[in-house]
């Protein structure tokens, strides 16, 4: 499965007010592993930043004056993401801006016509309801080093989001339910429910050392993924 972790930086918060994309950063994954391929470009927005936006990115009109416009890089950008599943934090924001940029050109359609989209903000809200789920907050909670993130930058943020996404989903991959297997959460629960049936359990005798190692393994999965179905089954039985 091919995925692309994507982030943008913009001149303001709302594309509806004419704000533009000033940077795009992408990192490619295949089978949940980085390939080393990235896409990054700064863009000349042909407009001023809204108050506060320039301070977030550290970019200036002077720096962006000689950079390409979105129309100049659209084909290269679309070729990089075409057919991939996009991993985006707060996808509505980035997709809205990118669709607005595409809408200024003819015949390029919309992002979701080319790519599936996975929103890590929605994933985090389901995993950590009622908590702060910004990229910085998730880096801290999941043990991702973001010490170099003094300012927002699209490629750096995409690289951090890659690590956050792997951490958010690592529990599934480690126990054999990675997303590329096609197993849904409901299917996973059904499998565990069958295993929980005493009539279907294999009779295996383990010594104390093996039992301790098993408990430590389950505790590790619980800590990394936020939930461990095997541990819940054992605690309920």
Residue 34 has pLDDT above 50, yes or no: yes
Mean pLDDT throughout 140-146?
A: 89
By residue range, what is the domain housing residue 141?
Answer: 2-173
pTM above 0.85? no
Using the 3D structure, point to which of 173, 197, 223 is the last residue of a domain.
173
Q: 203 in a domain, yes or no? A: yes
Neighbouring-strand partners of residue 24: 8, 41
The residue with tokens 């309920």 is: 236
- Is 152 catalytic? The answer is yes
Q: Please tell me the number of Cα atoms within 13 Å of 209 on its side-chain side.
A: 0
Residue 43 has pLDDT above 60, yes or no: yes
Question: Cβ–Cβ contacts within 10 Å for residue 160, how many?
Answer: 24
Tens digit of each residue's pLDDT (9 = 90 or more) over 150-202: 557 899 999 999 999 999 998 644 444 444 434 444 444 444 444 445 555 45
Does 23 lie in the same domain as 137?
yes
Does 145 lie in the same domain as 226?
no
Does 212 lie in the same domain as 123?
no
Q: 73 in a domain, yes or no? A: yes
Least-confidence region, from 21-25, 129-133, 142-146: 142-146
Residue 113 has pLDDT above 80, yes or no: yes
Does 87 lie in the same domain as 143?
yes
Q: 178 in a domain, yes or no? A: no
Among the listed residues 11, 152, 166, 228, the single catalytic one is: 152
């Amino acid at each position: 499965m091919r995925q692309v972790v994507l982030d943008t930086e913009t001149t303001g918060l709302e594309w509806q007010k004419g704000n533009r994309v000033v940077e795009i950063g992408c990192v490619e994954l295949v089978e949940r592993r980085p390939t080393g391929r990235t896409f990054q470009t700064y863009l000349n927005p042909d407009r001023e930043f809204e108050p506060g936006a320039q301070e977030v990115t550290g970019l200036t009109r002077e720096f962006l004056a000689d950079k390409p416009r979105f129309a100049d890089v659209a084909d290269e950008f679309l070729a990089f993401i075409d057919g991939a599943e996009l991993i985006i934090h707060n996808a509505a924001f980035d997709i809205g801006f990118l669709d607005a940029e595409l809408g200024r050109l003819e015949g390029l359609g919309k992002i979701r016509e080319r790519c599936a989209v996975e929103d890590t903000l929605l994933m985090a809200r389901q995993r950590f309801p009622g908590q702060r789920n910004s990229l910085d907050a998730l880096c801290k909670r999941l043990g991702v080093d973001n010490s170099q993130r003094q300012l927002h930058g699209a490629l750096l943020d995409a690289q951090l989001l890659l690590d956050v996404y792997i951490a958010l989903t690592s529990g599934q991959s480690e126990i054999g339910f990675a997303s590329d297997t096609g197993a849904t959460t409901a299917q996973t629960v059904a499998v565990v429910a069958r295993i929980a049936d005493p009539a279907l359990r294999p009779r295996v005798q383990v010594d104390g050392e093996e039992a301790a190692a098993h408990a430590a393994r389950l505790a590790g999965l619980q800590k990394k993924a936020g939930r461990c179905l095997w541990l819940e089954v054992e605690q309920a039985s």
